[in-house]
Amino acid sequence: MAKHFLYSLLFACLMAGRCVAADSSISSEASSVADYEQQVREVAKRTAAEAKAKREQERLERAKTASNTTNVESYRVFKYKKDGATAFSDSAPYKTKYEVVVYNSCYACSIVSNVDWYKTRLHLTEFSDTIAVAAQAYKVDAGFIRAIIHAESAFNPLARSRKGAMGLMQLMPGTAKDMGVFDTTNPEQNIRGGVKYLAGLLQTFNGNEALAAAAYNAGAGAVTRHGGIPPYEETKTYVKRVKILAERYKNQKQLAAN
């Protein structure tokens, strides 16, 4: 009888031990589930935050694109023929065939331009008196002046870049003010101010037209810092094209003199 009691007690203890072990196992599994659920919640929260940030970035990029498109549209110029001469207007001419010209940057600045700079038509007669007077007043070669105007605006007095450069010689507002230009769309004021600025650059760089052209595009500070033409693709391209145009304009002047 006592032996049976002992066996019963041992069995009960063993069963109690098993119950404790089972309880411990269940507790461990519950803890693992809780940890896993916490990890899932954290991953979900992080994913949602990343998705929200991505949507916001996409929204900002769309807004920027729309803004750039609006800016480009505001710089449209209408090119047409009037009495046999090329004319420009900021509004579409009435009952006249025209071409829409959009300016994002200077005419010769695009590194992907398909213009043949050795053959493109030169502007030999436009604003002749104003260019001649400015060339004489500031001692700058008229052919070089025409090359800069051609490279900057293709002789469009209404040209305006996305950065805010305006007129024939694409003067920035600050530069225009410093050069005494009050109306950048006025060809006489724009040319005189642009040539005055160009003369200062030529003086700074000892008459070197390539460096003056580089400074006209990238700023005198950039040329000084780099000890020559800055290593910017746009500026290097611009300088090459200005040189081609200047040589062609000067050659035309020499031919006319002969």
146-172 pLDDT, tens digit each: 999 999 999 999 888 888 899 999 999
SS3 (DSSP) at 80:
strand
Catalytic pick among 29, 126, 152, 188: 152
81 Cβ contact partners less than 8 Å away, ≥ 6 residues apart: 87, 96, 97
* Residue 67: per-residue pLDDT: 42
Query: 95-121: buried (b, 16+ CB within 10 Å) or exposed (e) per residue?
Result: eeebeebebebbbbbeeeeeeebeebe
CA Rg value for the chain: 37
* Residue 175: per-residue pLDDT: 95
15 Cβ contact partners less than 8 Å away, ≥ 6 residues apart: none
* Residue 191: per-residue pLDDT: 98
H or E stretch at 44:
helix 2-74
Q: DSSP for 134-199? A: HHHHHT--HHHHHHHHHHHHTT-TT-B-TT--BTTTTB-HHHHHHTT-S-TT-HHHHHHHHHHHHH
Please state, in angstroms and rounded to a whole number, the distance separating the CA atoms of residues 121 and 43: 64
* Residue 174: per-residue pLDDT: 94
- Indicate if 61 belongs to the active site: no
pTM: 0.63
How do the pLDDT tens digits run along the chain, 258 residues long? 544 444 454 445 445 454 444 455 555 656 666 676 777 777 778 877 887 877 777 666 555 444 443 333 345 566 677 777 777 765 677 778 776 655 556 889 888 888 999 999 999 999 999 999 999 999 999 999 999 999 999 999 988 888 889 999 999 999 999 999 999 989 999 999 999 999 999 999 999 999 999 999 999 999 999 999 999 999 999 999 999 999 999 998 665 554
What Cα–Cα distance (Å) separates residue 33 from each residue in 22, 42, 137, 239?
16, 14, 87, 69
CA atoms within 13 A on the CB side of 32: 6
* Residue 142: per-residue pLDDT: 96
Residue type, position 71, single letter? N
82 - beta bridge partners? 85
* Residue 97: per-residue pLDDT: 79
